[in-house]
Amino acid sequence: MKVIVTGQAEAEIRAIGAHIGRDDALAAERWVIATTELCLSLRDNVERAPVVGHRRGVAIRRLVHGSYLVIYSVRGDTVRIHRVTQRRTKPERFA
């Protein structure tokens, strides 16, 4: 499996890291690394998160990561990370 992190998801990871970094630079660095590793680990188990909707016939999945959500889809042999956002965001916004 190949994992693609969209530009939007990359920007969200950086923005969340910067927000965390205002209080604790080391915690921010650890969070960014852990989140990136989590995204890349989806190549080994793409079905570990539930389907929360469909978009253009493709299942959208939501993986909980602490206070955040990783929103992704799988098509063929590619995992696409669409968003990394706060948990309180409603999943239907991604479907």
Domain count, the chain: 1
Residue range 76-93: mean pLDDT, rounded: 83
Asked if the model's pLDDT at residue 94 lies above 50, the reply is: yes
The whole-number pLDDT of residue 92 equals: 54
The whole-number pLDDT of residue 95 equals: 47
CATH of the domain at 83: 3.30.2310.20
3-state SS assignment for residue 5: strand
Helices (runs of H) and strands (runs of E) counted in the chain: 2, 5
The whole-number pLDDT of residue 89 equals: 61
pLDDT digits (tens, 9 = 90+) for 12-64: 999 999 999 999 999 999 999 999 999 999 999 999 999 999 988 899 999 99
Asked if the model's pLDDT at residue 2 lies above 80, the reply is: yes
Query: The tokens 């239907």 sit on which residue?
Result: 92
- How distant, in Å, are the alpha carbons of 24, 34, 52 from that of 91? 29, 22, 7
Query: The tokens 């965390």 sit on which residue?
Result: 20
Which domain range does residue 33 map to?
A: 2-94
